Structure 1
């Protein structure tokens, strides 16, 4: 039975935001994934919108689409955005190929064509260290409340405790990333880390292009990397017609968690991650 709260509700032991419904979650596994779909999956605030922007630029440069990023992206497929009549997956079903499918759901809720991919479908999984993810998610929730006229979210101290306890939208971070990480050796998947992209964006753009089988010359790839820096992306998002998209970029740095986590909170995060991620082969850079 679904239990609702002001900030999220629980379904099958996972928390979801109010604009993700039980009907949608039950429909997602049967959503038909096309052979040329590009899927971007992540826990919220891991840099997925940064990655989506790069994918859009690659597709446009390769002549595979003429749509703008605003029209190509429909928001997470599981959400019903305030400006939309239907959940994202309904809108996606009517879109022409190539489609970019964005989702924040755990892999157990994803379409079967994503969790058990076949043929040519490509899934890019974006990951970010949990401390910076928590800080970024906290600030995004505060901005979202302001834009939507909602009540203020919990203060940071309460949010940090809730994050480690998995009592936030989309549930336990570690469980979420490990669910996707089980596919690390499947050729349909490409795993990317926010921290690696910050260190060498050009190499990351090349890797993404290769995975998507998009052949572009070096100059074009370099130009896309330059256009995809955080400052350029922030300018692009600032021009979006969607208010929620305009508030997505904040600092775009690695290590901002040091300005927010107390020594005790940092230790709690470390202990939690060690218990969940140790021995899985999945690790993160925190600065």
Structure 2
């Protein structure tokens, strides 16, 4: 087990090492019109991903990048460990679109239930996920905090090229010229599938507000039946601080950056009034009046 964890951390470190010497322009490549980081993704891997054979009991965890899915992975792993009495073991990078093409052959050896995490949009997911009716849990965070978290990730990982300023990054974020593309394109597409069978969309802020209730709801969605005591224990181990305290052990040097602050409203420390107005207008055009827009509680979390 310790060797698997070490190998996983080594894979993260290898990905970070690929960033050394790259400019921001060289960090991204385009696949089917969406930018992805060359450090963890490749055309060959995307082509191989199309043949991934999902299982009905796979736990598919989706989020736009920096919306908290690494936290969700930790919680979901605990579901399995607590109720199935087995520890999810994989030395692969945690996202299905990241890594080398032959990873999918190795993934066949992972016992069920597997966790399939991804930042991909609905239209880019392997078709077998839908054919085999795997359950999909989609996590969103309010767009302002997402942008700020993404900016800090670029700035705080020394090997990853960063924008010269928040102003520059904000412009790239709003135009979808960042890894995995536009937050708003991602949200608009998933909103179309919010009522699909086997799909549940949840909000990061709701996890923060009532973690035990969220743990119970997520567990039941994936078919687990933890006791009340198990739910409380999982929630206790899954507080953001508890996960952050173990982040270096679970994710290596980048752990403390992946789990940086975990607070709601951090955007207020960076957004200018003009940026507030720009994103408010974008939200209004893309999501106002939609079911996802209502779930995001934009007026609660994104108004000064």
Identify whether the pair has TM-score above 0.5, normalized to the shorter chain: yes
Rounded to whole Å, the distance in 1 between the matches of 2:259 and 2:251 is: 15
Q: Give the CA RMSD over aligned residues.
A: 2.1
Question: Could you say what secondary structure the match of 1:240 adopts?
Answer: helix
Sort the Cα spacing of 1:117 and 1:126 in 2 relative to 1 into closer, same or farther, 3 A.
Answer: farther
CA contact (8 A) 1:125 1:190 kept: yes
**Aligned positions, number:** 273
Deviation at 1:272, TM superposition (A): 1.1
CA contact (8 A) 2:80 2:88 kept: no
1:32 corresponds in structure 2 to 53
1:249 corresponds in structure 2 to 259
Tell me whether 1:47 sits opposite 2:60 in the alignment.
no
Gaps of 5+ in 1: none
Out of 146, 149, 173, the position equivalent to 1:163 is 173
Gaps of 5+ in 2: 1-23
Rounded to whole Å, the distance in 1 between the matches of 2:103 and 2:179 is: 18
Out of 137, 148, 157, the position equivalent to 1:135 is 148
Query: Counterparts of 1:1-287 in structure 2 under 5 Å?
Result: 5-18=25-38, 19-67=40-88, 71=90, 74-80=93-99, 89-114=104-129, 116-119=130-133, 121-144=134-157, 146=158, 149-240=159-250, 242-283=252-293, 284-285=296-297, 286=301
TM-score normalised by structure 1 residue count: 0.88
The range that moved more, 131-140 or 175-184, is 175-184
Rounded to whole Å, the distance in 1 between the matches of 2:289 and 2:103 is: 36
Choose between structure 1 and 2: higher helix proportion. 2
Question: Could you say what secondary structure the match of 2:194 adopts?
Answer: coil
CA contact (8 A) 2:145 2:266 kept: yes
List structure 1 segments (4+ residues) > 6 angstroms apart after TM superposition: none
Deviation at 1:20, TM superposition (A): 1.1
Question: Could you say what secondary structure the match of 1:153 adopts?
Answer: coil
CA contact (8 A) 2:64 2:120 kept: yes
Sort the Cα spacing of 1:171 and 1:14 in 2 relative to 1 into closer, same or farther, 3 A.
Answer: same
CA contact (8 A) 2:194 2:292 kept: no
Rounded to whole Å, the distance in 2 between the matches of 1:255 and 1:11 is: 33
Rounded to whole Å, the distance in 1 between the matches of 2:255 and 2:83 is: 25
Rounded to whole Å, the distance in 2 between the matches of 1:10 and 1:137 is: 19
Rounded to whole Å, the distance in 2 between the matches of 1:178 and 1:88 is: 30
CA contact (8 A) 2:54 2:132 kept: no
Rounded to whole Å, the distance in 1 between the matches of 2:160 and 2:194 is: 38
CA contact (8 A) 2:140 2:204 kept: yes
Deviation at 1:246, TM superposition (A): 4.2
TM-score normalised by structure 2 residue count: 0.83
Cα deviation code 1:70-126 (max 9, x no counterpart): x4773211112xxxx656545423322221111111121111123x3444x211111
CA contact (8 A) 2:191 2:291 kept: no
Question: Could you say what secondary structure the match of 1:265 adopts?
Answer: helix
